Chains A and B, each alone.
Chain A
Amino acid sequence: MATIYKEFLLLVRDPGGMTLLFLMPLALVIVMALVQDAPFRDYQEIKLDVLFADLDHDSLGTRIQQAFHTSPNINLVENNDTAVVNDLVHSGEFKAAIILPADASKTLRQKSNRVINDVLVNAGLVAESPRPVELTGIRITILFDPVIKANYKQVLSAAIEKILTGIQAEWILDELQGQLSENKPGTKKIKPDLSGLITIDQTYASENAATELELNSVQHNVPAWTMFAMFFILYPLAGNYIKEREEGSLLRLRLISGSGLPVVTGKFAFYFGICLLQFVLMILVGIYVMPLIGLKALILGSNITGIIITACSVAIAATGYGTLIAVYFKTPQQALSFGSISVVILSAFGGVWVPVYVMPGVLQQISRFSPLNWGLESFNDLFLRDAETILILPNLLKLIIFGAVTLAASIFINKSRTVS
């Protein structure tokens, strides 16, 4: 307790340390959430203005425009001058353009007619009609700005394909009814509704689905940078420890107790508490400050016990690592350089900067060895998947073992340097 109180006094009288521990991480999490808000929206909320050159001037063009009218992702802007369309996409003003060629409707009608005629002739229902020319399919061109993201291209191509498939089905059906009615006069054409044949329900595999959860910038950045800040505890921890060693106060403590154990464990306990305080502050920022700056509020899920255990496990791992760095290195320069760079590397592999699932396969494998990944995965499980504690237990055990091993190594190194 004496060491914890002493550490408290040292910290509150160190404005630089206080800033590093509390203000900087809060600023970092807010800035990163704001900066990464747009890229995260890209993944889930693509909204694209697309030029549409209708050279067909017939029903197909109208049908395409009608279909895109209800699309949540694509907004068609009509411009029938292909040269202008080309320039606008080339200059990057528009990311894409759809060019519907002349006579597209006519060709599609003829193509549909031919297909249905072939089917009915084959079934012996109608006589074969003459085939004056061989018909080629219509070719719709989509122009892309070279800088367009791959997922934008994918979304646009898929949307056009889907719409054209629907139109094609409608026209084939219409043609089928037409040819059949020629055989059976008096039959009335109907317009069947094909839209409801297949419905796709999109929902998250989470008990929290009602809250419309998704991996947005806040849900990713708040836990990710909170852990980064918690691991950065090594900075004041190692800095103070080495300063005390250089100033001699650590020597006096060794002379009093005979070992560094009370000092190391006292520091560990204090900085463990600081880590938890950081966690609470940053979670509060996620919940209450993020909505004030136009971002979504952090959603925690319902497993509060799991969150507390995870925060404690991350704090144990972070403080253990910081203590090891503090004890192992002999100068502040070595400790702080190695410590901070190692945390940046571990955080990069751990998925703090970008989610692990967008990393290359090799990095995804490596990320499994980063303590920050164990923590982040646990938080994602809790926040997004509303996981039960048992599910995150393997990651929590890894964090606790990591913390215990680093603390034990710190005590061992400290002892071996105390008595030699």
Chain B
Amino acid sequence: MTNAIVQVDNITKQYRGSPQPAVSNLSLKINEGSVFGLLGPNGAGKSTLVMMMCGLLTPDNGSISLLGMNVKNKGAAIRKQVGVAPQEIALFPTLTAYENLFYFGRMYGLDAAVIKERIESYLTTFDLKEKANSRVQTFSGGMKRRLNLIAALLHQPKLIILDEPTSGVDVQSRNVILDFLVELAAKKTTIIYSSHLLTEAERICTHLAILDAGKLIVAGTPGQVMDATPGHENLEQVFLTLTGKNIRD
């Protein structure tokens, strides 16, 4: 039996002034080494759930534990073993790729020599080595996205949370990123992958959860999710059946 690296128990979060909860009585279990796709339309509660997992939001009810520790009181210890690549390009545009990564490495508390070595390795993996000393503001969207991902990997976390990691990138960059994630999962790193892109989820995810209106609609392996709604050929059809065809804002 595999260990649960993320355990979400009956959490609810309602923002002040909002008529309904962003996340409602949601429970989830993510096993070590899995690539867990967190899917849902806009406003489904994905970002709120991710923020609560990172300790940036406190649930009104329920509890979340990551790596066997409660987020509420072990936030600092958890953050050392969790890497987050937010949807925004969370980098300093006027710093070079190297300077950005070195700074984030220092903020993770890593030694200069270790940071240097890892920067070299990751820049090579993501085909950015030649651009190490170029300012981020001169990078293309795909290059920024790859660098954004590296910044979340520098401290070699056990759990990586990715929010739309391939948003706005070209096919080549996307391929590099997805291949890398599959490789990472093979090395027992757990990945939570939040996205709208269902074909990508189908390609890399070992497990999926579809959320809508703050509630968990379905969870399981891709096969289990497909079986839950028979008669559909792909994940997109399942998704539309479960969440409806109305446009969400």
Contact = CB atoms under 8 A, between A and B. Distances in A.
Q: Do A and B bind each other?
A: yes
Interface of A: 1-3, 5-6, 9-10, 13-14, 244, 247-258, 262, 418-420
Contacts of A13: 94-95, 135
Contact of A249 (B56, B79, B90, B106): B90
Interface string B66-102: 0000000001100100001011111111110001000
A2 B90 contact: no
A10 B88 contact: no
Given A251-B86, A255-B84, A256-B107, A6 B95 contact: yes
A6 B86 contact: no
A333 B70 CA distance: 40
A244 B93 CA distance: 10
A252 B106 contact: no
B126 interface: no
B67 to A, nearest CB: 15
Contacts of A257: 79, 107
Contact of A10 (B75, B89, B92, B106): B92
A267 to B, nearest CB: 13
A249 B108 CA distance: 14
Contact of B56 (A9, A247, A255, A262): A255
Interface residues of B, number: 27
B84 A252 contact: yes
Given A2-B103, A256-B79, A257-B107, A419 B55 contact: yes
A391 to B, nearest CB: 44
B117 to A, nearest CB: 17
Nearest to A263: B107
Nearest to A249: B90
A258 B99 contact: no
Interface of B: 54-58, 75-76, 79, 84, 86-95, 99, 103-104, 106-108, 135, 151
Given A10-B92, A249-B91, 9 more contacts: A248-B91, A252-B91, A252-B104, A255-B79, A256-B104, A262-B107, A419-B56, A419-B57, A420-B57
Contacts of A10: 92, 94-95
Nearest to A417: B56
A260 to B, nearest CB: 11
Most chain A CB inside 10 Å of its own CB: which residue of B56, B87, B94, B104? B56
Given A255-B54, A258-B75, A248 B94 contact: no
Between B57, B76, B104, B135, the greatest number of chain A beta carbons within 10 A of the residue's beta carbon is seen for B104
A94 B227 CA distance: 103
A389 to B, nearest CB: 38
Contact of A247 (B75, B87, B93, B99): B93
Given A244-B92, A255-B54, A2 B106 contact: yes
B90 A420 contact: no
A418 B103 contact: no
